């Protein structure tokens, strides 16, 4: 587990503190005849942004576990994100994508996946403008409000994400105060 802070300033002058956490936990353990034969750990990287001590955004990258029983390689991470309404459109989202992508690249994650529903335009645009491409659509695999909905997968190399999101937060007037 590690923990350190970054301070950034948004174009409107608000200063936002970003705290990083990396956690590891055992996610599965197979025991046969009393002997442990399998033990997988998950790495979960979390960035949380605070404004006046109030949480205003949370981003995470998790090493996914399995697809049809086959383990993803360790170089793959899946991103998830949330920005509070008063902070949307400020460039904070691009900064958080950039910052978490840098952290996970240092820990061997070379590919980042993002999964959402096709209606989530903010999420899709954020990831596209950060360099992501649509790579797959799984038809009607989600059930939301009693409706079956498609699941969209997007992907990019982590390096590409870092490059593009950096351009975007600079364009939005975000400044790093303690880089
Ligand atoms: C997804 C989320 C993190 C994006 O953060 P954000 O601060 O809203 O991001 P931005 O406002 O900078 O939007 C990113 C881009 O999408 C565009 N966008 C936002 N809403 C849009 C919409 N409804 N239609 C089309 N484009 C949209 C923005 O204009 C921006 O593009 P720009 O940089 O060219 O201006 C945020 O909206 C959120 O927390 N949503 C709720 C949780 C969620 O959906 N999480 C993702 C689950 S997969």
Q: Which atom of ligand 1 is nearest to the CA of 115?
A: 48
Instruction: Give the model's pLDDT for residue 178.
Output: 84
CA distance linking residue 162 with residue 5, whole number of Å: 19
CA distances from 164 to 22, 35, 45, 125, 143 (A): 24, 47, 20, 12, 33
Ligand 1 midpoint to CA 122 (Å): 3
Write down the pLDDT at residue 93.
98
Helices (H) and strands (E) in the chain — how many of each?
A: 3, 11
pLDDT computed for residue 59 by the predictor = 97
Verdict on whether the full-model pTM lies above 0.85:
yes
| Domains, the chain, with CATH or none | 5-28+37-176 (3.40.630.30)
31-66 pLDDT, tens digit each: 667 776 555 556 789 999 999 999 999 999 998 766
Q: List ligand 1's pocket residues with C-beta within 6 A.
A: 81-83, 88-89, 93, 116, 120-123, 125-126, 129
Q: How many other β-carbons are positioned within 10 Å of the β-carbon of residue 155?
A: 20
Task: Please give the Cα distance from 31 to 118 (Å, whole number).
Answer: 40
Please check whether residue 99 is in contact with residue 127, taking contact to mean a CB–CB distance below 8 angstroms.
no
Helix (H, G, I), strand (E, B) or coil at 121: helix
Which stretches in the chain have pLDDT values below 50?
1
Q: State in Å: Cα 126 to ligand 1 middle.
A: 6
Question: What is residue 5's predicted lDDT score, i.e. its pLDDT?
Answer: 86
- Angle separating helix axes 121-129 and 92-105, nearest 10 degrees: 60
Atom of ligand 1 nearest to the CA of 126: 14
CA 69 to chain centre: 23
């Amino acid at each position: 587990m590690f923990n350190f802070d970054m301070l950034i300033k948004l174009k409107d002058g608000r200063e936002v503190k970003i705290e990083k956490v990396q956690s590891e936990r055992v996610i599965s353990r197979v025991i046969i005849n009393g002997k442990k034969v399998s033990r997988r750990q998950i790495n979960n990287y979390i960035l949380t942004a605070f404004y006046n001590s109030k949480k205003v955004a949370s981003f995470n990258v998790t090493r996914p576990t399995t697809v049809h029983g086959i383990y993803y390689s360790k170089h793959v991470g899946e991103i998830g994100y949330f920005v509070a309404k008063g902070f949307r459109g400020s460039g904070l989202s691009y900064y958080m994508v950039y910052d978490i992508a840098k952290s996970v690249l240092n820990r061997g994650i070379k590919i980042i996946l993002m999964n959402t529903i096709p209606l989530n335009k903010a999420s899709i645009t954020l990831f596209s403008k950060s360099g992501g491409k649509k790579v797959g659509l799984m038809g009607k695999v989600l059930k939301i409000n009693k409706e079956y909905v498609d699941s969209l997968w997007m992907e990019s190399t982590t390096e590409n994400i870092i490059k593009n999101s950096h351009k975007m937060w600079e364009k939005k007037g975000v400044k790093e105060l303690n880089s």
